[in-house]
């Protein structure tokens, strides 16, 4: 299909799941150079595009960056002319800024060259593939050697769930909020879904194959759904209550005690005002209905991560431990182990909350960091092997009905651990051991002896 026909197709649209327009001079200048090299009457084939019919519109799955750049050029060469780009405003400020910058860059090139490229838009062609459904569209996209940047798995997952949202305004809101999470440097969304949530889900089920987040977080919906509420199964409830008791002898029956919430209690419902995201009836281990609930799931656990790691919600012990561990972040293997520890902490807090959690957190620390102390080198594959063959805190938490069970099992599992010999002088392991256990004035756990697992009490005497 010719570029002339494509630009005239006002049904073309950039769907909400697409990343913002991000081309800079590094992509625009080579494209313009190719156009200026061509002579009038030449035929230029600019690669493939992948489209998906979406009702009356045609979504651009692959080719957004190139088509947007050509639309800018078309507008500059044909004052007042309209194309598909002019019909729908960009939703992201970064995209609007890149359009302005590239328009100025292309306009400057046109002035320096004394005019636009000789080649007519009718002689510029693309191979256009129309995918029957969105899953096929992304399968085509993955198999193409596109000039654009390949979509990451979490971006494909975003598109997969957006397709199940019937309300366009809700889909737009979910996409914009997702984009704001992607821009936060505190945590990459791929890391959240992969290393923290996805691996914990699989390891909690004792599944040890390599994680594919597209499969792990796939929607269970088949069709779009218009609804005013969402069905909760009997295992899936909002975390509104802290404790409960059942006293059939006195005739009181079941009594539920609320957690601290700022809420409005109505007849038949409760409206939660504070920490509404964290109160959503969603659990890390649950299967996902999909659609908008996937985006709320992602936002909930992003918020929980920020609350625990950035906001120090777990109190002074965890805050001081994290501060100590940050001194060793320069070592790649130690970062892998720390990522494992953080994932286990979030897995635990999601199930049991954060009240009086210090002793369990200490047990999880020793369970996860034993990998760091027993091996001189830790690779990404080492973490999988350790979880599969030695200690799996996620399966332990999943199995537990009470935090005391985790503590007791850790005491058994850690028997004989942390007695490793032949640790090289000045190695990362020796530095951590001194910082955590041996420095007579500053060793972290010398100030927290009461939190040492029973089987590791000898560490307090080092």
How many other C-beta atoms can be found within 10 angstroms of the C-beta atom of residue 204?
A: 20
Q: How far is residue 325's CA from residue 307's CA, in Å, rounded to a whole number?
A: 18
- Split at pLDDT 50, 70, 90, the class of 8 is confident
Using the predicted structure, report yes or no on whether residue 229 has a pLDDT greater than 50: yes
Residue 146, pLDDT score: 47
What pLDDT, in 10s, does the model give residues 119-142?
A: 899 999 999 988 877 667 666 665
Decide: 328 and 372 in contact? Cβ < 8 Å: no
Residue that wins the pLDDT comparison between 449 and 262: 449
Which class for 331: exposed (0-12), middle (13-18), buried (19 or more C-beta within 10 A)?
middle
Task: Give whole-number Cα distances, 214 to 21, 155, 302, in Å.
Answer: 24, 10, 18
Give yes or no for residue 370 having a pLDDT over 80: yes
Q: What is the DSSP letter of 423?
A: P
d(CA 368, CA 268): 44
Length of the chain measured in residues: 462
Of 391 and 18, the structure prediction assigns the larger pLDDT to 391
Residue with tokens 């799941």: 17
Residue with tokens 């000789």: 118
User: Residues of the chain with pLDDT > 70: what percent?
Assistant: 87
Q: Picking from 84-93, 260-269, 387-396, which range would have the lowest pLDDT averaged per residue?
A: 260-269
Three-state SS letters, 169-225 = HHHHHHHHHHHHHHHCCCCCHHHHHHHHHHHHHHHHCCCCCCCCHHHHCCCCCCCCC
Residue 191 has pLDDT above 50, yes or no: yes
Q: What is the DSSP letter of 88?
A: S
What Å distances lie between residue 243 and 239, 254, 328, CA to CA?
10, 11, 39
Residue-averaged pLDDT of the chain: 85
Of 52-56, 312-316, 396-400, highest mean pLDDT: 396-400
Q: Which residue has the higher pLDDT, 210 or 93?
A: 210
Structure confidence at residue 225 as a pLDDT band (50, 70, 90): low
Q: How confident is the model at residue 59 (pLDDT cuts 50, 70, 90)?
A: confident
Residue 108 CA to residue 413 CA, distance in Å, equals: 68
pLDDT in tens, 378-401: 999 999 999 999 999 999 999 999
Collapsing DSSP states into helix, strand and coil, what is residue 79? coil
Assigned token pair, 70: 């050509």
Per-residue pLDDT at 391: 94
Q: What is the mean pLDDT of residues 416-437?
A: 80
Residue 247: per-residue pLDDT: 67
What token pair was written down for 44? 């230029």
Distances (CA, A) of 279 to 297, 350, 353: 11, 11, 12
| Buried-state track 208-224, b at ≥16 Cβ within 10 A, e below 16 | eeebebeebbbbebeee
Q: What is the mean pLDDT of residues 96-109?
A: 94
Q: Is the dihedral of CA 88, 93, 94, 99 positive or negative?
A: positive
What confidence score (pLDDT) does residue 138 get? 65
| Residue pair 265/259 in contact by the 8 Å Cβ criterion | no
105 or 91, greater pLDDT: 105
Q: Rg of the chain's alpha carbons, rounded to an integer?
A: 28
Q: With pLDDT > 90 as the criterion, what percentage of the chain qualifies?
A: 41
Band of residue 31 on the pLDDT scale cut at 50, 70, 90: very high
- The conformational region for residue 290 under phi > 0 = left, psi -120 to 50 = alpha, else beta, is left
Strands 57-62 and 44-54: antiparallel
- In this predicted structure, the answer to whether residue 145 has a pLDDT above a threshold of 50 is no
- What secondary structure letter does DSSP report for 461? G
Which comes out higher in pLDDT, residue 221 or 326? 326
105 has pLDDT over 90: yes
């Amino acid at each position: 299909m010719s570029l002339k026909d494509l630009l005239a197709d006002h049904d073309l649209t950039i769907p909400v799941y697409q990343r913002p327009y991000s081309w800079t001079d590094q992509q625009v200048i080579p494209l313009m150079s190719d156009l200026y090299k061509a002579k009038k009457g030449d035929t230029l084939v600019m690669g493939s595009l992948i489209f998906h019919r979406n009702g009356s519109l045609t979504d651009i799955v692959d080719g957004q960056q190139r088509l947007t750049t050509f639309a800018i050029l078309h507008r500059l060469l044909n004052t007042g002319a309209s194309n598909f780009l002019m019909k729908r405003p960009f939703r992201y400020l970064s995209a609007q800024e890149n359009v302005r910058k590239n328009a100025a860059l292309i306009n400057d090139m046109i002035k320096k060259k004394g005019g636009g490229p000789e080649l007519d838009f009718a002689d510029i062609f693309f191979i256009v593939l129309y995918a029957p459904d969105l899953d096929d569209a992304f399968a085509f996209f993955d198999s193409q050697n596109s000039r654009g940047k390949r979509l990451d798995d979490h971006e494909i997952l975003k598109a997969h769930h957006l397709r199940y949202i019937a309300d366009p305004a809700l889909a737009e809101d979910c996409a914009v909020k997702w984009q704001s999470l992607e821009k936060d440097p505190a945590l990459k969304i791929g890391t959240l879904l992969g290393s923290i949530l996805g691996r914990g889900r699989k390891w909690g089920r004792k599944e040890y194959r390599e994680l594919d987040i597209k499969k792990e977080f796939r929607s269970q919906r088949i069709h779009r759904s218009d609804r005013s509420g969402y069905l909760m199964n009997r295992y899936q409830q909002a975390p509104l209550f802290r404790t409960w008791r059942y006293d059939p002898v006195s005739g009181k029956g079941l009594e539920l005690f609320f957690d601290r919430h700022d809420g409005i209690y109505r007849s038949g419902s409760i409206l939660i005002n504070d920490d509404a995201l964290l109160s959503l009836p969603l659990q890390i281990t649950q299967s996902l209905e999909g659609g908008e609930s996937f985006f709320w799931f992602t936002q909930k656990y992003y918020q929980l991560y920020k609350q625990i790691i950035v906001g120090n919600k777990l109190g002074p012990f965890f805050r001081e431990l994290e501060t100590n561990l940050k001194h060793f972040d320069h070592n790649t293997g130690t970062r892998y182990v720390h990522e494992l520890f953080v994932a286990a902490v979030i897995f635990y807090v999601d199930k049991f909350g954060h009240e009086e959690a210090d002793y369990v957190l200490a047990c999880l620390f020793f369970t996860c960091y034993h990998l760091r102390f027993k091996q001189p080198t830790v690779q990404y594959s080492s973490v999988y092997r350790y979880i599969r063959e030695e200690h799996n805190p996620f399966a332990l938490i999943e199995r537990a009905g009470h935090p005391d069970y985790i503590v007791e099992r850790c005491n058994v599992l850690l028997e004989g651990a942390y007695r490793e010999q032949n640790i090289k002088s000045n190695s990362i392991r020796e530095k951590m051991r001194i910082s955590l256990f041996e420095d007579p004035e500053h060793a972290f756990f010398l100030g927290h002896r009461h939190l040492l697992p029973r089987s590791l009490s000898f560490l307090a005497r080092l």
